[in-house]
Amino acid sequence: MRAALLEQPGQDLLVVDDIEFDGEPRAGEVVVRMTHCGVCHSDLHFADGSLPAPLPIVLGHEAAGIVERVGAGVAHLAEGDKVILTLRPPCGHCYWCVRGEVSICPNATATTTGVLPDGTTRLSRGGSMVFRGVGIAAFSEYVVTSASGAVKVPADTPLEVACVIGCAVQTGVGAVVNTAGVEPGATVMIVGLGGIGISIAQGARLAGASRIIGVDPVAERREQAAQFGVTDVVDPGSMDIASAALQQTDGVGVDYAFEAVGRASLVESCIAGVRPGGTTVMVGVPRIEDTVSFSALFFALGEKKLKGCFLGSSDPRREFPRLVSLWRAGRLDLDGMITARRPLEEINDAFADMKAGRGLRTVLEL
């Protein structure tokens, strides 16, 4: 099987064709033929070593494809179904799943372990195990996953567009409507206008926010942000983020601030920029050693709130179809988020674009 393989952090990924794939699904599993996969900053975190990962590993997780085979006991999917994959297939029966908190299901461990629940990966090369990056290993021709990790979408859904729902859009929109619960008329600040930040902006627009302030050092991203709902932009190179939030709100501070970069210092700026009683949401993926510091006294007296957010606090079985429907209704712009399409062989060029801040989302055609 052909796939993009990471052998050492900091090195280019190798596109190889000798990955051995055990393509026979076991009970409760499906095999999916990958068609498209977005290139996400989380993949870059593993590729450059910012986050630890077992090696060698196949990355890729913002993915969509077509069901190739189904295992025993799978009744809701069939061969030929179009699906969007999730990197956290919920077990459906744990303490968190039964309370609707499936994004933090403790049994969906492949994201961090690189293996399936049974301890295997179904991937090898030269007789040695190859690990599953970010739970899916979608920079490849085929994937095996728990059936709960593949969500069916209508047959006429263009997967080259829908794949970005699997991470960026689910995370960003969900951060607004699920994690934060932004209400109509609220003021919102977003730090970082990449794929996640733009998805947050679209979620804020859907929620009826009155002001959506976008912060990004890249001029091109600030310029294109308006088409996704951003009403005001800030260049952090010319103004302190917290000061900008206060200035844009007549000294009150924003109701909600979303950090979409993954940097502790920016989280601290967001906390300073929200109003008393306001909420900061950590959406970006920080380095494992990062810590956030703030004055406990002023945080308490100001009744400020700090929330973590993983995958938009979403249940993909509900969220993916809903997001597809919003796209069909013209209320969610997925097409505009995809600024490049590349073959798998250009995966390292896609990472180079991301590092340089070029474009929003690259989709690989697999």
User: Which amino acids are annotated catalytic?
Assistant: 40, 42, 45, 61, 167
How far apart, in Å, are the Cα atoms of 179 and each of 44, 270, 285?
Answer: 25, 16, 16
Q: How buried is residue 273: exposed, middle or buried, by Cβ count under 10 Å (0-12/13-18/19+)?
A: buried
- Taken in order 246, 235, 217, 237, the sign of the CA dihedral is negative
Q: How far apart are CA 240 and CA 179, in angstroms?
A: 26
Q: How far apart are CA 16 and CA 344, in angstroms?
A: 10
Q: How far apart are CA 33 and CA 64, in angstroms?
A: 9
Residue among 225, 153, 228, 168 nearest 43 (CA): 168
Q: How far apart are CA 344 and CA 85, in angstroms?
A: 18
Q: How far apart are CA 40 and CA 37, in angstroms?
A: 9
Q: Which residue has the tokens 């062989």?
A: 345
- Vertex 40: Cα angle to 38 and 45 (nearest 5): 150
How far apart, in Å, are the Cα atoms of 221 and each of 86, 233, 235, 246, 357?
Answer: 27, 10, 10, 22, 8
Q: How buried is residue 220: exposed, middle or buried, by Cβ count under 10 Å (0-12/13-18/19+)?
A: middle
